[in-house]
Amino acid sequence: MEHLKTYYADVRDTPDGLVMIEGPLSSASLTKYYFHDELTAFRPAPKQFEAICSIADFTEGRIIVARTEDTIIGYVTYLHPDPMERWSKYGMQDLIELGAVEVIPKYRGAKIASGLLEVSMMDDYMENYIIISTEYYWHWDLDGTRLSVWDYRKVMEKMMAAGGLLPAPTDDPEIISHPANCLMVRIGSNVPEASIKRFDELRFLQRHQYRNMREGL
């Protein structure tokens, strides 16, 4: 599968000034900017910047950023699922994961996160993908936002809906380990039925494996 990427951009007017949302960007383009030192949700900012630069150069990798004139204040990443996850089991080239979305506290509430997803989907090639996001409550900034786990989930679902991702059922053990966790999914309009069927098997892998075991008896 050829992973075509087309650059798009949008400007948002916020109480703290204009913010440019743009991408997908290459690592060479990313390194022209500073990476805000409050982007630490997943690892220290310098290490996270290294990680997103690496993702940007993956064949399927996409990095969309939100920035002031010279500083990245938010980003979203897309890439194939981690080889250790169930979602990589069939090696589906048309399955990509929204791996991380982060915005510094100063710009939260300015709809920057939803803007990152909206700009992501401006590229028509995204219609060739099944896009997933695995949401676990223990990754959420409940302390920083002072939201309950259920209020945070409502905010998260609204943000993901800006990119067309909606909750979908699954029997993944980590996701069903807590009722606030969820799988978010967007199936592009150009995804073939064979891929959708394969993805449905992934969503209910335990059920599928049990059925195969029963049929093999």
Q: What is the pLDDT of residue 51?
A: 96
Buried b (16+ CB within 10 A) or exposed e, 14-25: beeeebebbbbb
Q: What is the pLDDT of residue 109?
A: 86
Q: What percent of the chain has pLDDT over 90?
A: 86
| Pairing mode of beta strands 71-79, 34-35 | parallel
Fold of the 8-216 domain: Aminopeptidase (3.40.630)
The mean pLDDT of the chain is: 93
Q: What is the pLDDT of residue 139?
A: 85
Quote the CA–CA distance of 128 and 215 in Å, as a whole number. 33
The one-letter code for the residue type at 152 is Y
* Residues in Cβ contact with 120 at an 8 Å cutoff, skipping those fewer than 6 apart: 23, 62, 64, 76, 78, 126, 163
* Torsion angle, alpha carbons of 78, 26, 57, 3, to 10: 60
Residue 206 scores a pLDDT above 80: no
Q: Which string of DSSP letters, residue by residue, matches the chain?
A: -------EEEEEEETTEEEEEEE---HHHHTTSEE-TT--SSS-HHHHHHHHHHHHTSSS-EEEEEESSSEEEEEEEEEPPPTTSGGGTT--TTEEEEEEEEE-GGGTTTTHHHHHHHHHTTSGGGGG-EEEEEE-GGGS-HHHHT--HHHHHHHHHHHHHTTT-EEE----TTGGGSTT-EEEEEE-TT--HHHHHHHHHHHTHHHHHHHHHHHH-
Residue 217 scores a pLDDT above 90: no
Q: Per-residue pLDDT tens for 74-128?
A: 999 999 999 989 999 999 999 999 999 999 999 988 999 999 999 999 999 999 9
Q: What is the pLDDT of residue 215?
A: 58
The one-letter code for the residue type at 1 is M
Buried b (16+ CB within 10 A) or exposed e, 32-52: ebebbeebebeeebeebbebb
* Cross-strand partners of 22: 9, 65
Q: What is the pLDDT of residue 108?
A: 87
Q: Per-residue pLDDT tens for 134-179?
A: 999 988 888 888 889 999 999 999 999 999 999 999 999 999 999 9
Decide: 127 and 189 in contact? Cβ < 8 Å.
yes
Residue 180 scores a pLDDT above 70: yes
Q: Per-residue pLDDT tens for 26-77?
A: 999 999 999 999 999 889 999 999 999 999 999 999 999 999 999 999 999 9
